[in-house]
Amino acid sequence: MASGNEALFRHIPSVEALLQGDEIKRMAAGVPRRIVVDAVRGAVEDTRGYITRGACGGAGPDLIRSTILAQTQKRIREAVGPHYRRAVNATGIILHTGLGRAVLPAKALRQVQEQLAGYSVLQVDTETGKRSRRDARIEWLLQQLTGCEAATVVNNNAAATMIVLAAVAAGKEVIVSRGQLVEIGGSFRLPEVMAASGAKLVEVGTTNKTHRRDYENAVTENTAAILRVHPSNYKIVGFTAEVPLAELVEVAHARGLVLIDDVGAGALLDFARFGFTDQPALPDSVRAGADLVTCSADKLIGSSQGGIILGKAALVEKVRKHPLARILRVGKLTLACLEATLGLFFDEAAALAEVPTLEMLSRDLAALGQAAERMAAAVRAKAAGATVAVVDGASEMGSGSLPAQPIPTRLVSVASPKVPADELAARLRRHEPPVLARIQEDRVLVDPRTLLAGDEEIVIDAVLAALAV
């Protein structure tokens, strides 16, 4: 070890001396001693590592001490502060998986705060005092909104697919088009889920074309169901063909099979108004005669994470009685959020205004341009040397919803000769609250489409701080 390093090591105060110092005592106010001690020890070890790697140069005792104190404060903040905290989504990805996907409606947050602060009616009949079904209210709402006979909810759409297959097709064959054998985020692959459910996959057709006769010819005495999967996270274009849902229903019912329609993102409104013409809506699947329909609760519906199952009453009851139902059931927070969100869809105007997913999707391009110009002007005024411009771009729905369908937007483009784009984006992420943006062609791009009330000022402050050298 070099003698210079030895001198630097001697400048490192002892853990006990640091703990007795006024700086640590101020940081430690109200913090459990165990966390403070661990933070100091970790900060000291970090500093030893910096010295060993030669990262401290000719630092004196004051700089070494301040480095340890800064690291200690950071460690204490990380230990006692919330990890699942607010972030600013400036990416333009409306359903950003890493940022929690759908922003919950204010009505849902109020309902949780006002009604679930103490005990709540979850699974008891207030008339009889006896145990009730916890999904009864959600079922009623979905009956009204989709026309289904029955409905229930589990913890996500992957779980919904799994339990439906296990309930109606365990040990039996399920026919699926090769063009619908999807893989979604987290390496969720439909063939693997089907195998885990106990159902046997029977592939028909080709990647780009599947015909009615392919399904008809694949039916055997061991076939239980036909599964249609909406390819919500990709799109096949060109020389393609798929069998319409109504025809699949005819094929299935003529042979006594169950028709399962996994619509993926799920929708309660006609998304054609936003220019998306191939997004199935839950009421459409019910009207077409699907026996069971599954979808996410937190994508195009805009609630908290959940998996909706609706359809024929006898089949939904089979799902409820399956052993997996208790394993996959949701708690009171999910149910309350879903109840509040579904209630908004009785009035489409209210849903478009109050469900953040829908409100962001329908934001006016001119208004987005105005927001971008405001932020760009504020940054330009104080960030000399940075290149700040407003440019055309595209937002996206995200989380496997509405694939290959860019949504026009206006972006703030920021570049600096002194701070590379990846470092600029990293500094934005380290801001409190963290600000997430995109990088493209050595520029950081900020999309106002996914900013919430008050976020513009946060983004401006974060960008200015990140540009400071």
Question: Contact, 108 vs 334, CB < 8 A?
Answer: no
Q: Is there a single domain that holds both residue 154 and residue 290? A: yes
Q: How confident is the model at residue 325 (pLDDT cuts 50, 70, 90)?
A: very high
Alpha-carbon distance of 308 to 394, in angstroms, equals: 30
Query: Cα dihedral sign for 190, 191, 192, 195?
Result: positive
Longest dimension (CA), the chain: 87
Among residues 448, 245, 301, 458, the alpha carbon closest in space to that of 363 is found at 448
Specify the pLDDT at position 50: 82
Residue 229 belongs to domain with CATH number? 3.40.640.10
Can you tell me the distance from the alpha carbon of 315 to that of 321, in angstroms, rounded to the nearest whole number?
Answer: 10
Residue at a domain's end among 322, 354, 386:
354
Residues facing 389 on adjacent strands: 413
| Structural contact between residues 159 and 328, judged by C-beta atoms closer than 8 angstroms | yes
Q: Are residues 379 and 405 in the same domain?
A: yes
Query: In the predicted model, is pLDDT for residue 403 greater than 80?
Result: no
Per-residue pLDDT averaged across 50-75, rounded?
A: 83
DSSP state of 104: P
Residue 21 has what pLDDT? 92
Enter the tokens of residue 252: 């299935």
Q: pLDDT-derived band of residue 186, with 50, 70 and 90 as boundaries? A: low
Cβ atoms of residues 194 and 162 within 8 Å:
no
pLDDT score for 16: 93
Q: Which of 423, 427, 417 is nearest to 388 (CA)?
A: 417
Q: What digits encode the pLDDT tens for the residues 21-57?
A: 999 999 989 999 999 999 999 999 998 888 887 766 6
Rounded average pLDDT over 281-297 = 96
Tokens encoding 63? 């700089």
Q: Measure the CA–CA gap between 49 and 47, rounded to whole angstroms.
A: 5
Alpha carbon distance 331, 276 (integer Å): 33
The verdict on 165 and 237 lying in the same domain is yes
Q: Is-contact 180 231, C-beta < 8 A? A: yes
Residue 465, pLDDT above cutoff 70? yes
Instruction: Please indicate, yes or no, whether residues 368 and 220 belong to a single structural domain of this protein.
Output: no
Alpha-carbon distance of 74 to 372, in angstroms, equals: 33
Give me the pLDDT at residue 106, please: 96
Q: With bands split at pLDDT 50, 70 and 90, how would you rate the model's confidence at 347? A: very high
Residue 274 banded pLDDT, cuts 50, 70, 90: confident
Lowest-confidence pick of 195-204, 238-247, 268-277, 396-405 = 396-405
For the chain, helix (H) and strand (E) counts, in that order, are: 20, 15
Residue written as token pair 């478009």: 352
Q: For 21-30, 253-262, 268-277, which range has the lowest pLDDT when averaged over its residues?
A: 268-277
Model confidence over 96-122: pLDDT tens digits? 999 999 999 999 999 999 999 999 999
The token pair that represents 33 in the structure block:
């001693």
**Percent of the chain having pLDDT more than 70?**
94
Residues 76 and 92 in one domain: no
93 and 75 part of one domain: no
Q: Specify the number of domains making up the chain.
A: 3
What is the C-alpha separation between 233 and 401, in angstroms, rounded? 6
Instruction: Provide the mean pLDDT of the chain.
Output: 91
Cis ω for the linkage preceding 61 (within 30 of 0): no
Could you list the beta-strand ranges (E) of 312-452.
387-395, 407-415, 435-436, 438-440, 443-446
Res. 238: pLDDT tops 60? no
Q: Is the pLDDT of residue 185 over 70?
A: no
> Are 314 and 456 contained in the same domain?
no
What CATH number does residue 424 fall under?
3.90.1150.110
Last residue of a domain, one of 319, 354, 389: 354
Looking at the structure, tell me whether residues 150 and 284 fall in a common domain: yes
Domain boundary among 317, 335, 354: 354
pLDDT tens string 133-157: 999 999 999 999 999 999 999 999 9
Residues 189 and 312 in one domain: yes
| CA distances from residue 184 to 175, 347, 399 in whole angstroms, order as listed | 20, 32, 9
**One domain for residues 155 and 274:** yes
Confidence at residue 194, expressed as pLDDT on a 0 to 100 scale: 86
Residue 1 pLDDT class (50, 70, 90 cuts): very low
**What angle (nearest 5°) sits at the alpha carbon of residue 81, between those of residues 78 and 84?**
95
Q: DSSP class of residue 433?
A: S
- HEC sequence for 320-332: HHCCHHHHHCCCH
- Name the least confident of 240-244, 329-333, 422-426: 240-244
Same domain, residue pair 397 and 341: no
**Are residues 65 and 214 part of one domain?**
no
Kindly provide the b/e burial profile for residues 220-239, where b requires at least 16 CB atoms within 10 angstroms of the residue's own CB.
eeebbbbbbbbbbbeeeeee
- Of 450, 370, 383, 454, nearest to 414 by C-alpha is 383
Residue with structure tokens 């995200």?
A: 398
DSSP label at residue 89: E
Rg (CA), the chain: 27
Task: Tally the C-alpha atoms within 13 A of residue 276's C-alpha that lie toward its C-beta.
Answer: 24
Give the structural domain span for 147: 106-354
The alpha carbon of 333 is separated from its chain's Cα centroid by a whole number of angstroms, namely 17
